[in-house]
Structure 1
Amino acid sequence: MASSAIYHGACAILEGEVFGRQAHAARPADGVNVVDILADVVHAVRDISASYSSIPASCKVTKLHVPNESSNIIPDYASFSIDLRAQTNQAMDALLPELLSAVQSVGRASDGSVELRMKNRMAAARPDPYLEALVGDVIAELLGDDGRVQPPVTPGGEDFHFYPLHKPELRATMIGLGCGLLPGLHHPQMRFDLDALEIGATILALSVVRLNSAK
């Protein structure tokens, strides 16, 4: 089976650093505890994510690191990562600045500081309707109507979708190819049907033929 598009969502990874002031744990008032600031960051991110419950979008803290070797020292440095997902580029464009503002507000409200930077970002899929229909017809021709399935909608990201985003004149779609992948993507024992590669190559080749014939 195959689909004429894959509707990936937009995603982004933010990396942050928290700076406080070190002190002995017996005198907490003398220091600025980055763990407390991290806790506020986590709550702020969760609140933003909850406000997007009616939209296919989310944000969550996925990594926290406090390199403090001593349990009786108020830590003055920490790092963290935030994963953002949105089904459309418009939703990501709304989510991202709101999240940045919320996290930066946490830093301003403390005696420490919070710094954020964008590690990477991927655009959501915007398949060309004509190509999606053309490839769909090719799939049905090769695999039958039962072999043509609806394009999956997934919060996963794919950098391929930057091509049509940055070159609007470029028409594109990404073909979804069923290959019996088990037990799951990135699993150590991941396996799939290699014969599916031949099917995929045939779909691509015939799609190019049909596209050129239509000119």
Structure 2
Amino acid sequence: MTRPTIIGLTGSIGMGKSTVAAMFAEAGIPVFDADAEVRAMQGPGGELVPAIEAAFPGSTGSDGVDRDRLGQQVFADKDALARLEAIVHPAVAARRAEFLAVHHDKPAVVFDIPLLFERGGNAAVDLVVVVSAPEAVQRARVLARPGMTPEKFEHIFGLQLHDSEKRTRADHVIDTGTTLEDTRAQVAALIAGLPPQAD
């Protein structure tokens, strides 16, 4: 039985990954957004809220998980982070399996996963696409975000595999340090060159 070619889309913070994911979606390639799924499962009435509250008392409220309060409990605590991931990751994997079942007849699908390399997710995809831009462009984009500080940026930057390493390990690199039209053309060329459906 054939299945879609699975494209793992990744990139460091501020590289334009969400923009590129939207371009894949516009071109008709279904996109599984891991972060969006987590936000939904941790939002008001989300399926993960009770388990997270049980493991981290006081971290949730009427709006679901309070990311700041949860962050205070897991920030810089590897054991706490591991407990949180043990709750979240299996639920995301189940959602991803459902997504694949729904789109089993498509030629390709995209898994949008920020920490693809860091979590070893690259082993579960057919093709790795890294979204990249010059470091100065990345820094300017991230620091323009509401609530972002140079310290926060440096912390996030330090948790992620360096962009140069991601580019080395990629099957394809999409450069977003250029115009939207050029980036869209890169996405279109990549889609046009995709292999046939995998067995």
Q: Which structure's relative contact order is higher, taking Cα pairs within 8 Å and 6+ residues apart?
A: 2
TM over 0.5: same fold?
no
Point out the structure with max Rg over C-alpha. 1
- TM-score bucket (shorter structure): under 0.3
Instruction: Identify the structure with the greater helix proportion.
Output: 2
TM-score by length of 2: 0.26
Instruction: Identify the structure with the greater strand proportion.
Output: 1
